[in-house]
Amino acid sequence: MPDLVTLGPWLRRFLCEYIVTERNLARNTRSSYRDTFSLLLPFVSRKLRKPVDRLAVCDLTSRLVLQFLAHLEEGRGCSARTRNQRLAAIRAFARFIGSRDPAHVEWCGHIRAIASKKSMSPPVGWLTRAEMEAMLAVPDRKTRRGRSEYALLLFLYNTGARVSEATQLKVRDLRIGRGNGGHDLAALHGKGGKPRQCPLWPETERVLADEILGRSVDDAVFVSRLGTPFTRFGVYRLIERCAARVPELTDRTITPHVIRHTTACHLVLAGVDINTIRAWLGHVSISTTNIYAEIDLTQKANGVRVTIENGASPATIAAVIGALKAGS
């Protein structure tokens, strides 16, 4: 079967060349794309009773793609957001083929015409200051392992780093121990390798300085009890274990991203402007950061509600509303 017809060569070029060198997509995005086709190809193969290596581009019909998306939701229990992520990968692949082979333009159009499913954005989950402090109090700082876990948790809370940014942090990325009045900083490498710098609190600087003592500049900052760099799954397990020890967090799912949200929400409540928070978190678009502005509005609305419930006079209520408007 000619290469222009067989699905395999197109997929190899897409996954190994296009999204890596031409698009320079983030590592997690590339992994997501690969996972999509790891699920899609066996599904299509079973439906057509045809070996994966014999599948042609035209075998990947819009009807089969829709069946695959339904299988994700109904058979695998995936959310609409996950379904849309898988569809985005398939659309990108179709666009890749259609832009390089005119014979497949019509096929590309059919695939790209598949609509995304409307999904509600989940509410921003975050911890109060007391809950975050309770999490930080869980590791036993009398032991070496406990101090390392505390350093990782504190770093995540201080910087709002993504879990991948924390696990990839090297000793050379830290600018600490400056006694000349300079700021202690951590250089993070975000999506697509985009760098940014985050200031470190004195406490964070202190525990990190102890953590990297005797390490070379190319060593990872956060290592497990086995002496190997923390993995993203190791960070997830650490946070789940610490959250399980906090009674207030019972029945709540706490992840590294919840701590990232916590950092952003605490910055908002501290009066930090939204543009600074965008730079702090490494968001490309401020529209992504604007979800945290709702936290401040919610706090203000709760303030008005509590004032009313406490039986304040109309003059007091008017004064509170005026003060809140002035602070908006």
What does the radius of gyration of the chain's CA atoms come to, in whole angstroms?
A: 25
Q: Where are the beta strands (DSSP E) in 201-242?
A: none
Active site residues: 162, 191, 257, 260, 283, 292
Q: Which of 162, 137, 151 is nearest to 256 (CA)?
A: 162
Pick the CATH number of 129-284 from 1.10.443.10, 3.20.20.70, 3.20.20.80, 3.30.1490.100: 1.10.443.10
pLDDT in tens, 144-160: 999 999 999 999 999 99
Alpha-carbon gap, residue 257 to 160, rounded angstroms: 8
Residue 326: per-residue pLDDT:
43
Alpha-carbon gap, residue 328 to 319, rounded angstroms: 14
Q: How far apart are the first and last CA of the chain?
A: 65
Structure tokens at 78: 């995936």
Q: Which long-range contacts (CB under 8 A, 24 or more apart) does 274-279 make?
A: 279/196
Give the predicted TM-score (pTM) of the model.
0.70
Residue 4: per-residue pLDDT:
59
Alpha-carbon gap, residue 44 to 93, rounded angstroms: 16
Residue 309: per-residue pLDDT:
46
Structure tokens at 202: 């004195």
Q: Which of 60, 67, 43 is nearest to 6 (CA)?
A: 60
User: For the chain, which residues score pLDDT lower than 50?
Assistant: 1, 180, 300-313, 315-328
Side chain identity at 241, as an amino acid letter? R
Q: Are 147 and 209 in contact (CB under 8 A)?
A: no
| Alpha carbon 159 to chain centroid, angstroms | 14
Q: Are 97 and 57 in contact (CB under 8 A)?
A: yes
Residue 294: per-residue pLDDT:
63
Residue 11: per-residue pLDDT:
96
Q: Are 220 and 167 in contact (CB under 8 A)?
A: yes
Residue 286: per-residue pLDDT:
61
